Amino acid sequence: MRLRKEAGAAAQAGDLATAEARLEAALALYPTLPGALVRLARVEVAAGKPQEALAHLEAYARLGLTLDVAGDPALRTLVDLPGFTPVATQLAANRQPAGQLHPIATLADPAFLAEGVAVLSDPVGEDYLVSAVAARTIVRIDDDGAARPFLKGDADTGGLFGMAVDGSASALWIAEAWGEGLPGGVGAKRTGLLKVSTRDGSILGRFPLPDDGRPHQLGDVAVGDIAIGGRVADGAPIYASDAAGGGLWRLAPGAKTPELFVSSREIASPQGMAVCHGRDALVVADYSTGLHRIDTKTGAVTPLTKADAALAGIDGLAWDSNQDVRKVGSGPARPWELIATQNGASPQRILSIRLSPDCRSIEQVRVLAANLPGMDDLALGAVGEAAYIFVGNSQWAGWTADGKRREGVARPAAIFKLALP
């Protein structure tokens, strides 16, 4: 991110050579960053290097992404060049619909602002919990699509973000944040973890981050390591991503206050997480740079990249729990299948990401859904029985960056189901 900021400052100052060098350095670290490829192409057009710009646009198009080149003032001169034809062909192919969505529910409250999803299962079927940022609540969606109040909130309940159910399915862990600058927020900023009973929605505990005078905002959570029989252990550590503070926090079993677990420039904007159970590893999505493997013993950060996949802009991560339990002892181990919501790319997409059994490399990336009505304002999701349940229209587009409502941009929040292969 530092290199891209320096490139932007250099371009504004008219120093195209420095801007080009900084963007090339960023791409040397992360070769499939969509924003860096497009910005470098713009700089190259301004520097009189149209062929180099075309090459970088072609690399961008090969990632399955879309771009209105003709509508981009810095790039539109490339449209008339003979070499633009294959780029245009690929960009057009990338606009084709992929996947099939099944609507579950719409939430008509224009100030709901849906963010997280959790699945509650029993022998009869599944219900879905959806958290709200601006409305500061959680609703339960039944089989008939009706949304009913679930959370028994209190006066301190803030905006509710990502959620995770513990191994015994008795508690729901939620990232909570509130204060001036958040949608609907007032007062001093605060953030932490909220623990809620899955039985009746009552609050079981609140675990605020320590006040260190720096900005923090928890956005997603993951429940820690594995126990005998393949279930997540009760009393396992709880991990939380802090996009505002640029770090990961961990609440140890029995602790009252989360502790900073990882702080690294490589994960300056951490989002969704998934624990590689039995591997002492955690996969985290950084919004700027893509996926990273975190060693849960040492905190070491290792990028997870693939030469033909753009993984920046991922918001939510969830394991496909319909896959067989991975073996942690003797016997063959299966790859891990991640499902991701990617709302920081064009088009917004649902991805399937296969990791190696040791969670150290990416083996395959597939697009499960893209370019479909209703999924242009994605948030988080969760895996249910043979399906991914996710927020397709979150209502974030109806709010400004400083938490104010945008007039005339009120659409119902929409929840969808996507069958998993």
**What are the pLDDT digits (tens) for 217-260?**
999 999 997 543 434 445 789 999 999 999 999 999 999 999 99
The residue to which tokens 């007039």 are assigned? 407
> Which of 93, 126, 151 is the last residue in one of the domains?
93
Same domain, 275 and 305: yes
* 125 and 198 inside one domain: yes
Query: Is the separation of the CB atoms in 238 and 259 below 8 Å?
Result: no
The residue from 33, 68, 93 where one domain ends is 93
Is 63 found in the same domain as 183? no
For residue 61, being part of any structural domain is answered with yes
Q: What range defines the domain where residue 339 resides? A: 103-419
Whether the Cβ atoms of residue 167 and residue 227 lie closer than 8 Å to each other = yes
Q: Please give the order of strands across the beta sheet that includes 336-342.
A: 314-319, 336-342, 349-355, 362-370
Are residues 79 and 141 located together in one domain of the fold? no
Please check whether residues 69 and 208 belong to one and the same domain. Answer: no
Residue 98 in domain: no
pLDDT at 2: 85
**What integer pLDDT is reported at residue 234 of this predicted model?**
53
- Across the chain, what does the average pLDDT equal? 92
pLDDT surpassing 50 at residue 1: yes
Residues 331 and 295 in one domain: yes
Mean pLDDT (whole number) for 100-124: 93
Q: Angle at Cα 341 formed by Cα 262 and Cα 359, nearest 5°?
A: 50
Q: For residue 156, what pLDDT is reported?
A: 96
**How far, in Å, CA of 313 to CA of 288, rounded?**
6
pTM: 0.93
- Same domain, yes or no: 121 and 32: no
**Does residue 382 sit in helix, strand or coil?**
strand
63, 93, 123 - which closes a domain: 93
| Exposure string over 15-35, b if 16+ CB within 10 A, otherwise e | ebebbbbbbeebbeebebbbb
Q: Is 127 a member of any domain?
A: yes
Query: What's the average model confidence in pLDDT over 294-305?
Result: 95
* One domain, residues 314 and 399: yes
In the chain, the number of structural domains is: 2
Q: Is the peptide bond before 347 cis (omega within 30 degrees of 0)?
A: yes
CA dihedral sign of residues 283, 286, 290, 294: negative
Sheet containing 270-276, strands listed edge to edge, beginning at the edge strand earlier in sequence = 270-276, 281-286, 290-295, 301-304
Q: Are residues 304 and 393 in the same domain?
A: yes
Confidence (pLDDT) at 326: 41
173 and 279 part of one domain: yes
Mean pLDDT of 69-92: 97
272 and 133 co-located in one domain: yes
Beta strands in 279-371 (DSSP E): 281-286, 290-295, 301-304, 314-319, 336-342, 349-355, 362-370
Sheet of strand 114-122: strand arrangement: 114-122, 125-132, 138-141, 147-149
Residue 117 belongs to a domain with what CATH number? 2.120.10.30
